[in-house]
Structures are given as C-alpha cells and as structure tokens.
Amino acid sequence: MRSLIIKYVPGAILLLLLVFGIYKNPAITEKLSAGKSQNQDKTTFSSMEAKLDSLAKTPKQTDLNPGAMCYEPVCITDYANFVCSKCNKSTILSREVVENIRNAKAMLTNIRGLKIVIDDSGFCGHCNKNKTDHFFKITIFYPDRKEPVTSKLYIHQTGILTQFLKGNLIYKGERDSESDMKTYLPLLKKILLGIEDKREQ
Ligand SMILES: [Zn+2]
C-alpha cells in the first residue's frame, strides 16, 4: 500500500499542477476568449432589426452634455507589447492603445445574448501591414441567419455598440460627453446588420 502511494502520489500532484497551471495561464485563457466568446447566441437578426427600427423612431434626445473641451497634446512616452490572438506574435504599440484594446475586448466579450467573435489581428503589425488602419474584425452570428455579419470596428466605436446593446438612447463618451444614439444609426446598422445605408451617412 505504501509503495503504491509513493508510486502514484507524485504523478497525481504533477497532473493537478498541469491542469491548474493551464487554467491559470492568462495567455491560454486570453486566447480562448479572444477566439470565440462564450456568449449565448439568442439574439436573432430580426429582433436586432426591430431594435434598430425602434431607435430610429425614438424622439431626438435633448439637453445633452457636450463634454469638457480638452486640447492637451497626446504624447506617447510609454510603450507596451500587444500580443495578437491570431498569430500570437507581439507588436509594440503605445501603452494607451494596448490598454484601450484590452478594455474594448473586455466590453465586447461582456455583451450578453449576442454571439460575437472578436478578431484583434487588425492591431497586429504582422497580420495587418497597414500601419495606420487599426481595428477589430467582429463577426456576429444570428440563429435565424445563415451568413454571419462581419465588419470592422474601431476602438472608439466599441462604446457606441455596447451602450446601444444595453438599451441606452444616449451615448456617453469621453470627458462626460453625451450624444444622441440615433446619430450612430448608420454605424450600428452596418456593424449589427451588415447594412450600408449611404443615404444616411
Ligand atoms: Zn497577428
């Protein structure tokens, strides 16, 4: 019996360490959540259309806060490593951008009820050779649609999308600024339904 314990216990401990080590490894969990979000895919394309239609019909928002003016020049003094979830390679970006990417990704993965897959390779210097055009590629799957809706989403648009999905009629932006969500209807239609309405833009 004793010899059995000696024989198996170290193996069991090693196995436990391996299992927990994997689940605790942030790089691996990050990869899982970036590749495919675990959100439910309950929202249908037609219910999204109805949600956007109802936004179009809401009265114009008044008494909005324009937000504090700020003309401070942005100095990039600090850099950070961005690791692409597609190719796993690193790109040096300003720390602010890396933090913004992380926050935006967290906001997108927290969207409930909508099946949305986030691709951050648009920020990667290896996957996206365009040095100035940085974006998320997001793909939305609807249970009543065969083809998913794919679009580019820029960091500053993430708040508009997530706040609309929460049902907000006023978009709260930087420095307490407020704007009518209706202003973003063309953008929301493009991202959520794949519909480009040139007349409205
Ligand atoms: Zn990449």
CB-based contacts of 186, cutoff 8 Å, min separation 6: 196, 197, 200, 201
The CA 118 to ligand 1 mean position distance, Å, reads 13
CA–centroid distance, 184 to ligand 1, in Å, is 30
Beta pairing partners, 118: 138
What pLDDT is attached to residue 175? 85
Q: What is the pLDDT at residue 199?
A: 58
| Annotated domain spans of the chain | 1-34, 36-200
**What is the CA(117)–ligand 1 centre distance, in A?**
16
Short-list 63, 65, 60, CA closest to 178? 65
pTM: 0.72
What per-residue confidence (pLDDT) applies to 94? 92
88 Cα–ligand 1 center, Å: 6
102 CB-side CA count, 13 A: 12
The pLDDT score that the predictor gives to residue 27 is 43
pLDDT at 65: 85
pLDDT in tens, the chain (201 residues): 555 555 665 565 555 544 444 444 444 444 444 444 444 678 999 999 999 999 999 999 888 888 877 666 666 579 999 999 999 999 999 999 999 999 999 999 999 899 999 999 999 999 999 988 999 999 999 999 999 999 999 999 999 999 999 999 999 998 889 999 999 999 999 999 999 876 544
Q: Name 64's Cβ contacts closer than 8 Å, sequence gap at least 6.
A: 170, 178, 179, 180
Cα 82 to averaged position of ligand 1 atoms, centre (Å): 10
At residue 11, the pLDDT reads: 60
Q: How far is the CA of 90 from the centre of ligand 1 (A)?
A: 8
CA of residue 176 to ligand 1 center, whole Å? 34
Distance 102 CA to ligand 1 centre (A): 15
